[in-house]
Amino acid sequence: MNTKPLLSIIITNYNTLDFVKLSLTAIKKLTKNTYQVLINDNGSGPFEIAKLKKIAAREPKVNAFFRKSTRSGSYAHAEAVDLMIEKADTKYIVVLDSDCTFLLKNWDQRLIDQINDKVKIAGTPMAKGRNLNKPDDFPFQFAVLFETETYKNLNISCMPRNIAKGEDTCWQWKPKFTEAGYSGKILIAKNTRDFNQGPFGDLTGIEDFFTDEDELIASHFGRGSSSGAGKYLKRIKIPIISGCLRRCCGIMEKKKWIARCYDIINEQS
């Protein structure tokens, strides 16, 4: 009897376990197909590592790997994603940022249904206008599903090349797929800087993602390890005080976002 899962869901953790726990709850309650979760910890603090080890020990579908990267920032994150993709041998792989979570029942089947002879990757794009160096017309790394065999045959690396020119983590995805004659299917992205009608409309800089049927399928808090502090009170530049205020705003909004995500997940389970 074949018990091999259909999906490998890859998450990189660096002191973002509150986000990871949210995503694990969403995956457990909202995923239709068989799956495994591969979590790469990139050198979190000892308390965080201990908690992650406990989670992996009690969840048979969760596999945790621990390392201390010699790199930092985008380079460390990309290196971790590459390592986890190399380990995955399921038909499909999902790359999921730790601070992005799925919020729709059967999200995985919705994305799989987009894959065909032409389309080999489906998921979240960059919100329009937020970063002109990053594609808003092709799936970006927040929450993306792709066909494993095709991806590996394209010999893709997620490592940045020139961040200043937009060649950041996973920059190869668009050119590698399109040069091979494949296309990607993107979800509809809306940012709460412009869109205040969803469940996170009163929060700052949240990216929500919708299906073509206008169903909320995923949400991205943004800047997980910093609690999104860089998004707040940008005009206040008082030494020490402004930094403290930004961090407090980030922590409060992160708690609200996480709580509302749990409510949306639990309403469907």
CA of residue 122 relative to chain centroid, distance: 13
* Signed CA dihedral, 90, 92, 98, 102: sign only: negative
Phi/psi of residue 195, nearest 5 degrees: -120, 115
- The average confidence (pLDDT) of the chain is 89
Return d(Cα 105, Cα 191) in angstroms, integer.
22
7-268 under CATH 1.20.59.10, yes or no = no
What is this structure's pTM? 0.91
Residue 196 in this model has a pLDDT that exceeds 50: yes
- When pLDDT is cut at 50, 70 and 90, the band that residue 7 belongs to is very high
Contact present, 173 and 138 (Cβ < 8 Å): yes
* Segment 201-231, tens digit of pLDDT: 999 889 999 999 999 999 999 865 455 555 5
How high is the pLDDT of residue 233?
45
Residue 261 burial (CB count, 10 A): 23
CA distance 232 to 205: 9
Is the per-residue pLDDT at 68 higher than 80?
yes
Three-class SS of the chain: CCCCCCEEEEEEECCCHHHHHHHHHHHHHHCCCCEEEEEEECCCCHHHHHHHHHHHHHCCCEEEEECCCCCCHHHHHHHHHHHHHHHCCCCEEEEECCCEEECCCCHHHHHHCCCCCCEEEEECCCCCCCCCCCCCCCCCCCEEEEEHHHHHHCCCCCCCCCHHHCCCCCCCHHHHHHHCCCEEEECEEEECCCCCCCCCCCCCCCEEEECCCCCEEEEECCCHHHCCHHHCCCCCCCCCHHHHHHHHHHHHHHHHHHHHHHHHHHHHC
Asked if the model's pLDDT at residue 96 lies above 50, the reply is: yes
List, for residues 235-252, the tens digit of each pLDDT value. Answer: 555 555 555 666 787 788
Nearest residue to 126 via CA among 73, 42, 205: 205
- Distance (Å, whole) CA 86 – CA 184: 21
pLDDT tens by residue, 111-154: 999 999 999 999 999 866 555 556 679 999 999 999 999 999 99
d(CA 56, CA 37): 10
Supply 126's token pair: 């960059």
Indicate the burial class of 72 (C-beta count within 10 angstroms; 0-12, 13-18, 19 or more): exposed
